[in-house]
Amino acid sequence: MAMGLSTAKPYRRRLFLLLLRCTRTAEPSPKCPHHRPLSCSSPAAAAEPTHLRRIFRPGDPNRFAPGILDAFWGVRRFSTSVDPISGGDKNLERIFIQNMSVKPIVVDGVDAVPIEDERKEVVNTVVADAEEGKEELCGGKVGDLDQLEVGLEVRQEKEQSEVEKEAWRLLDRAVVSYCGRPIGTVAANDVTAANQAVNYDQVFIRDFVPSALAFLLKGESEIVRNFLLHTLQLQSWEKTVDCYSPGQGLMPASFKVRTVPLDGSNEAFEEVLDPDFGESAIGRVAPVDSGLWWIILLRAYGKITGDYALQERVDVQTGIRLILNLCLSDGFDMFPSLLVTDGSCMIDRRMGIHGHPLEIQALFYSALRCSREIITFNDGSKNLVRAINNRLSALSFHIREYYWVDMKKVNEIYRYKTEEYSHDAINKFNIYPEQIPSWLVEWMPDKGGYFIGNLQPAHMDFRFFSLGNFWAIVSSLATPRQADGILNLIEDKWDDIVGRMPLKICYPSLEYEEWRIITGSDPKNTPWSYHNGGSWPTLLWQFTLACIKMGRPELAQRAVAVAEKRLPIDKWPEYYDTRSGRFIGKQSRLYQTWTIAGFLTAKMLLENPAAAAVLTCDEDLELLQGCACSLSKNARIKCSRLAAKSQVVV
């Protein structure tokens, strides 16, 4: 629960003085010399370039918005042109941070600059190529351009259902303003829970993503732009848990807009942003996923609005680099996956997901893919881009190879030999076959498979986690066959994963002794409740994205139809309980914003499947080649694209 001003500890008081202030002054705060307060009158906090509003207007003479075009064309100006991946430079991140040690500075006024000539030229060329039908586009063929445009026109004309209208009303009601401008949405607007000690009145980074997409797909970009810029400023904030400060690039889990007396007097008030980096959160866990979501949203914002000027700003580029620096810095790890504590993502309580949980790995992979597209490529960033490519290729190999399970793989594990001490061990992580849970033996379908929840030495967590599997599909961390396999499994296990309310956060739940030991007897995470096998409707939009990408929108449609019947009647709960998702969750908030926004985003994506392409990433064979080539040095296999494919693609 967030603390009130009067009860703040000394260090918190100091922080309050330094909070992001909404004042008339543009002078740097003397107590925080590196930081320039964002003033209400600052164009950085406010101005929305007028060209953004044009994007989805049918019949616009500027027919193809640059953002949409880039999305379809696959503009990766900074990614595919980098040097081929070759042996990693272990000092890359250090070199990089030396260049990056400045705090973000908001560069005012850059936004108002119209699309630069170079980009206009790119856009014109693509339009010409596309119209001639020459160019094959990222995430779709040329024809998709028209499809997208037509789709958007259709959506605008289509009468919204009563449920959608209600959802939009509720989403609008959840909007939080700062200095008179929209900046995010509260986690929940549940009046019945108002007196409970919780932080659902805050704007959560992860929760805001579906709201942002709903607004963007509707053509409203200002709130997203403000959110991206303000959270960026919070990123470099002073943060401390007792006497220790986490890395500078950490993004908060959430923030709150507070009204406080101006300079101690009760006559004037100002608004301040009060972030929570985990120092107030239950369990004091750092939200590792926040920065990853921020990057994913930043790329989506550019692609949907065409406002690339935002991502090119110096402070925004610095923000991306600070996040990546945290993720890519050297440590003791033997794996390319990110090592995190329990509860560092959507599941923000103890659930036995410390180590290398799939959710974080899939979001990490997605954020790296997005970063590669949006980092300005120059001498200062080329080492970073190389580090990203190296990591992407190692990470995709690692996850595809070691996290994937299907009937064949489970049978292999069942016959594993253990204690293999050698370079060419089959059972590299020394998994004891006895670990295969009894439920899995029956549950695994003949067709299909999934990525397991976690991999550690001598430990495979065989639980199915939805978010990680969906993002593995969306980002192309999964091979096309694996992606299909995941959807096959969901179809086959519909009653377990979708049931009476989509979608299970994980399957199955922890029970009895496992629950006691792994959750620490958490009364909120009892079997088939909350994070422990509860059903979370917000996962709908991510499932929808994955289904559309794989050409199986009918699966998502089925799931949305199930949700649509219940959500308005049940007052848009945060989560559902029981094995089939039959009850509204024991402690579930009502009017949970990401439930509402997730539903709307899923609906909009289904109406405009082509729009989903701008949010996904395609398979990149060059990345596979990178890993296959370094592996082939040992195996003396000729390094080629074919070798890459045959080695890595399942």
Task: List the one residue from 36, 76, 103, 206 that touches ligand GLC (CB under 6 A).
Answer: 206
Nearer Cβ to ligand GLC (211/248): 211
* Nearest partner of 185 among 605, 600, 604, 597, judged by Cα: 597
DSSP label of 110: G
CB of 418 to ligand GLC, least distance (A): 36
Provide the β-strand partners of residue 449: 406
CB of 340 to ligand GLC, least distance (A): 15
* Nearest partner of 368 among 600, 546, 620, 644, judged by Cα: 620
What token pair was written down for 476? 């192309």
Let me know: does 203 contact 191? Beta carbons within 8 Å: no
Provide the β-strand partners of residue 256: 274
CB of 592 to ligand GLC, least distance (A): 6
User: CA torsion angle for 187, 189, 194, 199 (degrees, to 10)?
Assistant: 10
Task: List the one residue from 70, 111, 149, 207 that touches ligand GLC (CB under 6 A).
Answer: 207
CB of 187 to ligand GLC, least distance (A): 4
CB of 465 to ligand GLC, least distance (A): 13
3-state helix, strand, coil in the chain (%, to 5): 50, 10, 40
Nearer Cβ to ligand GLC (256/372): 256
CB of 416 to ligand GLC, least distance (A): 35
Interaction residues for ligand GLC, span 102-161 (CB under 6 A):
none
Interaction residues for ligand GLC, span 328-387 (CB under 6 A):
346, 348
Nearer Cβ to ligand GLC (348/406): 348
| Burial call 545-572: b when 16+ CB within 10 Å, e when fewer | bbbbbbebbebbeebbebbbebbbebbb
The piece of 24-32, 204-212, 384-392, 550-558 that touches ligand GLC (CB under 6 A) is 204-212
- 274 is an interface residue for ligand GLC by CB under 6 A: no
Let me know: does 289 contact 363? Beta carbons within 8 Å: yes
Nearer Cβ to ligand GLC (449/468): 468
Nearer Cβ to ligand GLC (211/479): 211
Let me know: does 371 contact 298? Beta carbons within 8 Å: no
Nearer Cβ to ligand GLC (307/348): 348
Nearer Cβ to ligand GLC (321/350): 350
Nearer Cβ to ligand GLC (291/336): 291
The piece of 165-173, 202-210, 422-430, 460-468 that touches ligand GLC (CB under 6 A) is 202-210
- 204 is an interface residue for ligand GLC by CB under 6 A: yes
Contacts of 363 (CB under 8 A, 6+ apart): 289, 292, 293, 296, 345, 471
- The DSSP result for 246-295, as a single string, is --TTPPPSEEEEEEEEGGG-SS-EEEEEEEESSSSSTT----HHHHHHHH
CB of 274 to ligand GLC, least distance (A): 16
CB of 522 to ligand GLC, least distance (A): 12
Query: What is the dihedral sign for C-alpha 342, 347, 349, 353?
Result: negative
Nearer Cβ to ligand GLC (47/282): 282
Which residue's beta carbon is nearest to the bound ligand GLC? Answer: 187
Let me know: does 326 contact 332? Beta carbons within 8 Å: no
CB of 468 to ligand GLC, least distance (A): 14
CB of 12 to ligand GLC, least distance (A): 21
The piece of 147-155, 200-208, 388-396, 432-440 that touches ligand GLC (CB under 6 A) is 200-208
Nearer Cβ to ligand GLC (18/175): 175
Q: 607: how many CB neighbours lie within 10 A of its CB?
A: 14
The piece of 121-129, 157-165, 201-209, 214-222 that touches ligand GLC (CB under 6 A) is 201-209
- 289 is an interface residue for ligand GLC by CB under 6 A: no
The piece of 133-141, 203-211, 215-223, 357-365 that touches ligand GLC (CB under 6 A) is 203-211
Q: Under DSSP, is residue 475 helix (H, G, I), strand (E, B) or coil?
A: coil
Nearer Cβ to ligand GLC (32/183): 183
- 187 is an interface residue for ligand GLC by CB under 6 A: yes
Nearer Cβ to ligand GLC (282/639): 282
CB of 523 to ligand GLC, least distance (A): 15
Nearer Cβ to ligand GLC (337/593): 593
Half-sphere exposure of 388 (CA within 13 A, CB side): 29
- 540 is an interface residue for ligand GLC by CB under 6 A: no
* Cα dist from 188 to 13, 228, 288, 347, whole Å: 27, 20, 22, 17
Number of residues counted as binding ligand GLC (CB under 6 A): 6
| Burial call 491-524: b when 16+ CB within 10 Å, e when fewer | bbbeebbbbbbbbbbbbbbbeeeebeebbeebee
Distance from C-alpha of 409 to C-alpha of 630, rounded to nearest angstrom: 25
Nearer Cβ to ligand GLC (348/373): 348
Lookup result for tokens 């990203």: 388
Alpha helices in 158-254 (DSSP H): 162-173, 205-218, 222-235
CB of 473 to ligand GLC, least distance (A): 20
CB of 206 to ligand GLC, least distance (A): 5
Nearer Cβ to ligand GLC (203/322): 203
| Amino acid symbol at 271 | E
CB of 378 to ligand GLC, least distance (A): 36
Let me know: does 348 contact 253? Beta carbons within 8 Å: yes
Lookup result for tokens 């309580």: 349
CB of 364 to ligand GLC, least distance (A): 17
Distance from C-alpha of 40 to C-alpha of 36, rounded to nearest angstrom: 12
The piece of 57-65, 199-207, 516-524, 561-569 that touches ligand GLC (CB under 6 A) is 199-207
Beta strands in 376-448 (DSSP E): 404-406
Provide the β-strand partners of residue 177: 182
CB of 204 to ligand GLC, least distance (A): 4
Nearer Cβ to ligand GLC (187/548): 187
Q: Which residues sit at the interface with ligand GLC, rule CB under 6 A?
A: 187, 204, 206-207, 346, 348
